Amino acid sequence: MEALALERKAEQNRELKERIAKLKKERNAIILAHYYQRDEIQEVADFRGDSFLLAQKAAQTDAEVIVFCGVHFMGESAKILAPNKTVIIPDERAGCPMADMVNVEGLKALKKRHPNAAVVTYINSSAEIKAETDICCTSANAVKVIQSVEADEIIWVPDKNLGDYVSKYTDKKMIIWEGYCNTHDMLTVKDVMEMKAQHPNAQFVVHPECRPEVVKLGDFVGSTTAIIKYCKESDCQEFIVGTEDGTGYQLRLDSPNKQFHFATKFLVCPNMKVNNLKKVAKCLETMQPQIYVPPQVAEKARLSLERMLQVK
């Protein structure tokens, strides 16, 4: 029975992939997928990446339609950077709890209390927050962005764990918002130590959105893209992975002969996993749901994103 169900599922996926390929051609569309998406979505994507790479791709593409397989703020960023493109997402319920942890009123109040501070906002935030921001960053370029800012005081929004990590690479005063990524923050020292005991020859690679005491245990600390690159180029053959489990798709693709153990089975973002092949096909058919950002918000938010993309 189980074998039959798997065969049926595989056939449905083949049909969906054919439909998606046809619709993509008809719509002159490109599919961008975050590394945390389901394997089936990463398979049909024209480009896979982390927040930074996908933001770059959205700004550069010649396609008329961008299908953004990620969470809502990522689709917003694509629309802000490519205002003349149609940006659609498979499921508009794919939100980000961390992005919801910061609000415009609170950020404005913080800016009033620290008038000389520059606001650096992690790209995992709403368009409205980006509009109140001097420059955005991602985990891939956060340190470089902080170093590029002339102000001696930084208001950092919204991830306190990434903020703590970045603060170790600067003498600037960091005023850190108390947000966090629900998924990465779940990982504990106990989880990591148990995995290290089970896999003594494995290196621990970890995302800086994890708790500071967990990050401290890392043999390598970096963004999702940096982790993938490190594992591919390293002589080590076994890794304990401290980031969202969707990363496993690209890790296995790049390094098929290496072993990857996720630090805990709970490193799964339910919001990223809301999307599936059926929803990708449907959004291409209906061209809905589309991302809309009010022009006055988009104009201000674009500056913060463009400044980020200019940092080398």
Lookup: tokens for 248 = 């496993």
DSSP 117: P
Q: Is 269 annotated as a binding residue?
A: yes
Residues 6+ apart with CB under 8 A from 75: 68, 87, 88, 89, 291
- The candidate with the shortest Cα–Cα distance to 183, out of 210, 218, 223, is 210
- Which H or E run includes 206? strand 203-206
Relative orientation angle of helices 51-60 and 295-310, to the nearest 10 degrees: 110
DSSP 85: S
- The candidate with the shortest Cα–Cα distance to 43, out of 18, 8, 26, is 18
- Spatial contact of 90 and 285, defined as CB atoms under 8 Å apart: no
Residue 87, SS3 per DSSP: strand
Q: Is 207 annotated as a binding residue?
A: yes
Amino acid found at 26:
E
- Spatial contact of 225 and 49, defined as CB atoms under 8 Å apart: yes
Q: Rounded to whole angstroms, how far apart are CA atoms 214 and 189?
A: 5
Residue 265, SS3 per DSSP: coil
Q: Is 77 annotated as a binding residue?
A: no
- Spatial contact of 95 and 71, defined as CB atoms under 8 Å apart: yes
Q: What are phi and psi of 282, to 5 degrees?
A: -65, -40
Q: Is 51 annotated as a binding residue?
A: yes
- The candidate with the shortest Cα–Cα distance to 37, out of 235, 269, 237, is 269
Q: What are phi and psi of 30, to 5 degrees?
A: -125, 140
Q: Is 167 annotated as a binding residue?
A: no
Q: Is 34 annotated as a binding residue?
A: yes
Numbered residues of the known binding site for iminosuccinate: 34, 51, 122-124, 139, 207-209, 224
Binding positions are: 34, 51, 96, 122-124, 139, 181, 207-209, 224, 269
Binding site for [4Fe-4S] cluster, by residue number, is 96, 181, 269
